[in-house]
Amino acid sequence: MIGPVGSHSNTGCGGPQLGFTLDVVSAGGPDLFVVCKNCGSEVSPYITECPYCGTRLRKRAPKIDRNGRIAERVSRRPATPSLPRLRRGEIPGIRHESHPYVAWVLVLLGVLGALIWRTNLINPADLMVWGGPSHQWWRVLVAPFVYDNTGYAFIALLVIALFGWLMERRHGPVVVGALALIGGAGGLAVASRVGGGPFMGGNGAALALICAWAVPDLTKLVRKDEFEGDLLGAGVLAGTVALMPLASPQASWVAGGVGVAAGLILGFLLTRIHH
């Protein structure tokens, strides 16, 4: 922009003259120059090397848009959409995201019990319960994780892994541990008192987890409300586990019944508390 200085100067001729200055004003356009970090020279922003010292200024020349400005670099690969982790209390009825540690431990103990049974490292009689072992109460805690039948172990551990994970997401690890203890150890303890034995396996724990998970949807079904759970699939798995004593005599009918009762009662109490 050119404008008057606003002062007079006397020349040799004695006549006043009006001086002018030249100011450069940026109107939002590109930078007029960049400074080389090596030699400090002012160079064009559109070159890749300093013409005075040869220092590399940038990898490639910038792109210029239609208005003569340096275009911003746009990534060709679109950003991958992602959802943040579910926070505590963000969705009513759903716990914040966490790892199903208790469900994993139950499955791992079942796999180890099945392997130990086949290695004969421990006397098999010490891994089963019968006749109410009051003097060897630890058998009640060990027997739910021991399997002498591969099919029995696969189905029971599959159900424990699936519904243990679902229940742990919904109510936390303490509830899953309580259901496994009451349905598994408690079921075998009652079965040994009633039927003699020997008994082993986690059919009671598996049925307790299925029934506790299904209680909210069963309640909505009775009220003729909409529900999202797959009750048909859960019913097929529950029926398979309940009939397991037909394939493995060491799977107790009584233990399964205790697991069903424990799951329904505890599931109903949890539903009432939650709502």
Q: What is the pLDDT of residue 154?
A: 94
- Residue 53, pLDDT above cutoff 60: yes
- Residue 207, pLDDT above cutoff 50: yes
The span from the CA of 51 to the CA of 209, in Å, is: 76
Q: What is the pLDDT of residue 4?
A: 43
**235-to-42, 152, 181 alpha-carbon distances in Å:** 79, 17, 22
Better-predicted residue by pLDDT, 124 or 27: 124
Length of the chain: 275
Q: What is the pLDDT of residue 260?
A: 95
Q: What is the pLDDT of residue 88?
A: 52
Residue range 225-275, pLDDT digits in tens = 787 778 899 999 999 999 999 988 889 999 999 999 999 999 899 888 876
Query: Which residues does 209 contact at the CB level (< 8 Å), separation at least 6?
Result: 159, 160, 163, 164, 167, 176, 179, 180, 183, 263
Whole-prediction pTM: 0.64
Q: Could you tell me the domains of the chain?
A: 101-274 (1.20.1540.10)
Q: What is the pLDDT of residue 11?
A: 42
Give the lowest-confidence range in 20-29, 40-49, 99-108.
Answer: 20-29
